[in-house]
Structure 1
Amino acid sequence: MIEETSKENIELRIQMASEAYQFLKNTTIKERAALMNAVADRIEALGEELLTTAHIETSLPLARLTGEKARTAGQWRSYAKAVASGIYTEARIDLAQPEKQKGDLRKYSIGLGPVVVFGASNFPFAFSTAGGDTASAIGAGCPVIVKAHPAHPQTSKIMADAITNTIKEFGWPEGIFSHITGTSYETGAYLTQHQDIQAVAFTGSFTGGKALFDIANRRENPIPVFAEMGSINPVFALKNLIENKAEALAKEYVTSLTLGVGQFCTNPGVFIAVKGESLDRFISAVKNEITGIAPANMLHKGIYENFEHHKANTIAQPDIEVIATTAIEEGKGSAAVIQTNAQSFINNPVLSEEVFGPFGIIVTCENKEELIQIAKKLKGQLTITVAATSDDARENAELIHLLKDKCGRLLFNGMPTGVEVVYAMQHGGPFPSTTDSRFTSVGPDAVKRFVRPISFQNWPDEFLPEELKNENPLQINRIVDGEVHSESLKSEVL
């Protein structure tokens, strides 16, 4: 039984976070980076208890969890390095000149304030309590209140304790991080609408993310909700590529589709190609590949039941042919691939909805024009893959230009499952895949979500934040009168 955190305790935690925000505003980027590296150290030191607990609660294999634990610590370290570099302070200085009416202007970015993070179920480490949302918010200078995902409560507590103990070790305010538990919708709604909360981060279903977004926008003071809400991640397979490697592409596709029992937000749920002998070869190979996939436990009972419901509903739609299924085993996710035609896909919105699990739709087009029709009709996606040769890309320039408008990450071959925690990663796309396509939830640029600019006009140097002082004590790059450098500002030029 999961304990429901009382409203009184939540109110206390929000008050503590508000007070901790005043403390964090006066920490430097170097100090916050030191805390983040210490959290990474503590996560790395967590022993078998963490992995075993997560394995029991999620059914994820120990090898996968071991890799995700390393990724989580790596996120804290890479975000700490980025924060310490000063890149997200975006420090700008325009010195006073005789012709300037406003005199000396200096601008940098500070944390928004207390942030609520909703833990995700499919990544119990990297997208949950101690995941990238928590790391990037703290790096930005924002206290975090985590609403733990009820699917892995003990795993969440172990991670929460790691963060809490690190903060205590530093002697920093307890309110920098809080851990809230419970299953009720009301808890999430209460947190989101509270006047002292300044941002929300969420990874999960469209229904959940959109509900939080709507609550936040009905507030007297609306706040940003950075919600990643799912995607069908279509693969457009073009003529020359599929002719050259139909069988290899089928293996690659099925491997990606069923990886982790299909429980990735970048699962390639739709495969689109023009009819022909090469597509027939691809479909035949998919049938062969699917038969070798064994049913497996999904993350929890709720995900399994939702998967079975949405899979059955999609298969029951008109103009659907079941291509292949794995063996059926009660309580385990069984992979399936179906086929439909382009016009049915375009006209039936059910076929464009995410089925979270190992389920794929092959859409057969009569010609290139139908590929373009589908591209125009598509909603926003996290990823879109173009399976193509260079000749294909040249011959389908219009299609590719359309696809750029529909996704956050556009792949040239390969499959979209898995993300790299690097600066150039974009894990966020046009609505409804996320609520704000300008931001990413993976990679150091995730910090950008939780800062805002503030400008100082004609302030004496002693009262300026470290990032804007003349001597540049943090030695960060700044734009001074339009030039990027990290030098101190000599008194004779002031």
Structure 2
Amino acid sequence: MIEETSKENIEVRIQMAAVAYQFLKNTTIKERAAFMNAVADQIEALGEELLTTAHTETSLSLARLTGEKARTTGQWRTYAKAVATGIYAETRIDLAQPEKQKSDIRKYNIGLGPVVVFGASNFPFAFSTAGGDTASAIGAGCPVIVKAHPAHPQTSQMMADVITDTVKEFGWPEGIFSHITGTSYEIGAYLTQHNDIRAVAFTGSFSGGKALFDIANRRENPIPVFAEMGSINPIVAFDHLLESRAEDLAKEYALSLTLGVGQFCTNPGVFIALKGENIDRFIATLKIEIPKIIPSNMLNKGIFENFEKLKSVASAQSEVNIVAEANTEINEWEGRAVVIETTGQNFIQNGILSEEVFGPFGIIVACEAPEEIQQIAEELKGQLTITIAATDEDVRQNIKLIDVLKDKCGRLLFNQMPTGVEVVYAMQHGGPFPSTTDARFTSVGPDAVKRFVRPISFQNWPDEFLPEELKDENPLQIKRMVDGEVNSGSLKLPTT
């Protein structure tokens, strides 16, 4: 039984976070980076108990969890390194020019304030309590209140304890980090609409993310909700490529579609190509490869039941055929892979077929003509990823189509499957609505920190009272834009 945190306790935690924000606001980027590295060290030191607990709660393999743990510590350290460079402070200094009646104006970014992070079900480490949202918010200078995901409560508590212990070790205010538990919708709503909360980060369903977004925008003082809500991640395959690689591409697609029992937000749920011999070869190979995939338990019973329901609804639509499926009998919560086929016009006309089915489920869309693919592209909703399977010649012949697809996604892949999300500066894990609520930002990679900062300018302030990032001597030794040019040294100002 998951304990429901009382509203009285939540209120206390929010007030503590508001106090802690005033402390964090006056920490330097170097101090926050040191804290983040310490959290990474503590997570790394957690032994087999963390892995076995997460395995028991999520059915994820120990190998997968070991890799995810390494990714999580890597996120904290990578984000810490980025924060320490000052890249997200975005310091701008325009020195006074009395002869031109121009003031001394200096600008940098500070944290927004207390942030609520909703843990995700499918990544108990990397996208949950001590995941990238928490790391990037603290790196930005924001206290964090985590609403733990009920699917892995013990795992969440272990990760929360690590952060809490690090707060104590550094002697920082307790409100830097809080851990809230419960299953009721009211907790999330209460946190999101509270006047002292300044931003929300969410990874999960469209209905959950959109509900939080709507609550946040109905507030007297609206706040940003950075919600990642799902995506069908289409693959558009062209004939020149299919002619030479139909069988190999089908094998790659089958592996990507079923990776992690299809429980990735970048799962390639739709494959689009022209009708004909090439796509027939692709499908013939899927019929061989998909039955080879041995089903595994999904994350929990609820996700399994939702997968079975949505899979059945999509498969039962008119002008739809099942072309490949795993043969193993369903056992407990095993997600059995299924691939269906339909026509381009049916996909366009039937909105059910373009909705995400979270799990190992794919739709092959066989189009009559290039114009049909173009129409699908133009009507496509916002996606996290879109993949182009093509030769160079295919690209040259389809520039107009690809230009449309650029407007529909956050990451455009060329001849690679989308299920690998690397934690690097150039990663964009976010896309146009409804894949996320704000396509300008990413939730993976150091640039995730950008979500939780805002700029503030200081005009004509004495150097003594300026933040460290803006002082003349540049004590943090960061790169700054001074009078329009990058400068990493101190400012040699004339004495008066």
Distance in 2, matches of 1:352 and 1:205, equals 15
Q: Matches of 1:3 and 1:145 in 2, distance apart?
A: 16
Partner of 1:253: 253
What is the CA distance between 1:293 and its match in structure 2? 1.1
Q: 2:273: which partner in 1?
A: 273
Deviations 1:324-349 (A, max 9, x none): 11123143111000000001111111
Q: Deviations over 1:45-80 (max 9, x none)?
A: 000000000000000000000000000000000000
1:297 alignment partner in structure 2:
297
Cα deviation, residue 246, structure 1: 0.6
Superposed, which structure 2 residues align to 1:333-372 within 5 Å? 333-372=335-374
Tell me which residue corresponds to 1:418. 420
Matched pairs, number: 494
Aligned partners of 1:160 and 1:179 also within 8 Å: yes
Q: Secondary structure at the match of 2:98?
A: coil
Aligned to 1:207: 207
Is the Cα–Cα contact under 8 Å of residues 381 and 433 in structure 1 kept in the other structure? yes
Q: Deviations over 1:290-341 (max 9, x none)?
A: 1111221000011001100100111111111111111231431110000000
Alignment TM-score, normalising by the size of structure 2: 0.99
**Structure 1 equivalent of residue 161 of structure 2:** 161
Segments of structure 1 that go 5 or more residues without pairing to the other structure are: none
Once the two structures are superposed, residues 350-390 of structure 1 have per-residue CA deviations (whole angstroms, 9 ceiling, x without a partner) of 11100000000000001111111110010000000000010
For residue 233 of structure 1, what is the aligned residue in structure 2?
233
User: In the aligned structure 1, how far is the partner of 2:430 from the partner of 2:412?
Assistant: 11
Aligned position for 1:462 = 464
Q: What SS class does the counterpart of residue 323 from structure 2 fall into?
A: strand
Does the 8 Å contact 1:5/1:180 carry over to 2? yes
Q: 1:191 aligns to what SS in structure 2?
A: helix
Task: Quote how far apart the aligned CAs of 1:493 are.
Answer: 7.8
Residue matched to 1:329: 330
Within 2, Cα distance between the matches of 1:298 and 1:349?
26
For residue 101 of structure 1, report the CA deviation from its aligned partner: 3.7
3-state SS of paired residue (1:161): helix
Q: Indicate the residue corresponding to 1:485 in structure 2.
A: 487
Residue-by-residue CA offset, 1:3-35 (whole Å, 9 max, x unaligned) = 000000000000000000000011000000000
User: Between the two proteins, what is the percent identity of the paired residues?
Assistant: 79
Question: For 1:479, what is the secondary structure of its paired residue?
Answer: strand
In 1, the alpha carbon distance for the partners of 2:317 and 2:278 equals: 26
* Aligned mates of 1:137, 1:192 — CA distance in 2: 16
Shift of residue 99 of structure 1?
4.5
User: What residue in structure 1 maps to residue 82 of structure 2?
Assistant: 82
Q: Partner of 1:73 in structure 2?
A: 73
For the residue of structure 2 that corresponds to 1:491, the secondary structure is: coil
Q: Which amino acid aligns with 2:254?
A: V
Structure 1's consecutive aligned runs of 4 or more residues displaced over 2 angstroms after TM superposition are: 98-102
What corresponds to 1:130 in structure 2? 130
Q: RMSD between aligned alpha carbons?
A: 0.8
Whole-Å Cα distance in 2 between the matches of residues 85 and 420 of structure 1? 21
In structure 1, what is the Cα distance between the partners aligned to 2:356 and 2:158? 31
Match of 1:10 in 2: 10
SS in 2 for 1:54: helix
Q: TM-score, normalised by structure 1?
A: 0.99
Displacement of 1:485 in angstroms is 1.2
Offset at residue 98 of structure 1 (A): 2.5
Structure 2 counterpart SS, 1:422? coil
8 Å contact kept, 1:102–1:457: no
Q: Which runs of 5+ in 2 are unaligned?
A: none
Which residue is equivalent to 1:23? 23
Partner of 1:443: 445
Q: Deviations over 1:230-255 (max 9, x none)?
A: 00000000010000011000000000
For 1:385, the aligned partner's letter is T
Contact map agreement 1:13 1:175 (CA 8 A) in 2? yes
1:454 aligned counterpart, secondary structure: strand
Amino acid in the other structure paired with 1:465: P
Mapped partners of 1:404, 1:279: distance in 2? 24
> Which letter maps to 1:207?
S
Following the alignment from structure 1 to structure 2, what is the Cα–Cα distance between the partners of residues 493 and 109? 28
Q: Which amino acid aligns with 1:362?
A: I
Structure 2 counterpart SS, 1:492 = coil
1:55 match: secondary structure:
helix
SS in 2 for 1:271: strand
Q: Which residue number in structure 1 is paired with residue 406 of structure 2? A: 404
- The Cα of 1:102 is off from its aligned counterpart by 4.5
In structure 1, give the amino acid aligned to 2:421: V
CA distance in 2, matches of 1:361, 1:202: 27
Measure, in 1, the Cα distance between the counterparts of 2:60 and 2:293: 16
